[in-house]
Amino acid sequence: LAKTTQPISMDSYEGQEVNITCSHNNIATNDYITWYQQFPSQGPRFIIQGYKTKVTNEVASLFIPADRKSSTLSLPRVSLSDTAVYYCLVGSGNTPLVFGKGTRLSVIA
Amino acid sequence: DAGITQSPRYKITETGRQVTLMCHQTWSHSYMFWYRQDLGHGLRLIYYSAAADITDKGEVPDGYVVSRSKTENFPLTLESATRSQTSVYFCASWDRGQTNEQYFGPGTRLTVT
């Protein structure tokens, strides 16, 4: 399984765009990049998934460069309710994903 | 109600007792998972199941037993609870397909005294 590295924590002010970068140097050809969000006292929930280039949905955008060795989750204009832990995972869907410690995002008013 | 449920939501037990945490999903997803999350840490996979009667160890299986006689249920048993098993336990299901989207239950907060 490809291992991922992401910052332990980040702070941001409300209204700013937040970019969380994840490194996955050993990503395999069949692997997808998936991001989850976890609020306190809740289970994680799926945010977005991508294979290459850019993916956008109503919650976030995911940027993946051509070499796919990293990815960036972009949260536009964050609010206090975006305070959560964000996990970057890499896998092909043939084996269970491995959750790391994630990035703890704190949004400040 | 459709979804994934866990019971109990909160449990306090004593060291050495057997405890079973229940997980039920209504989607008929093939895969189910058990994770534990210790305070301030990420999720660690305990066991998973690819289908009924098929289970496999995750990162931290010691001290836990699972079974899956029906697709929709995936109970987790702590045969002799220890204080180190105090944690929040999350169950998840996954319909292997186009996405890696796992659906998580609300969690069970277990305290072993």
Q: Tell me what pLDDT residue B95 has.
A: 85
Residue A23: burial class (beta carbons within 10 Å; 0-12, 13-18, 19+) = middle
CA angle B105, B109, B111 (to 5 degrees): 155
**Class of residue B80 by CB neighbours under 10 A (exposed 0-12, middle 13-18, buried 19+):** exposed
With tokens 């072993």, the residue in question is B112
Testing the interface with B: which of A9, A27, A31, A46 to mutate, by most B Cβ within 10 A?
A: A46
Strand partners for B21: B76
Nearest CA in chain A to B35: A99
B41 lies within 8 A of chain A by CB: yes
Q: How many CB pairs under 8 A join A and B?
A: 55
Higher pLDDT, B101 or A84: A84
Beginning with the edge strand found earlier in the chain, give each strand of the sheet holding B76-78 in spatial order: B4-7, B19-25, B76-78, B64-66
Helices (H), chain A: none
Q: Does A49 touch chain B (CB under 8 A)?
A: yes
Angle at A61 between CA A59 and CA A62, to 5 degrees: 130
pLDDT greater than 70 at residue A2: no
Residue A101 is nearest to which of B42, B59, B96, comparing CB atoms? B42
**For a pLDDT cut of 90, what percent of chain A falls above it?**
81
Q: Would you say residue B80 has pLDDT above 90?
A: yes
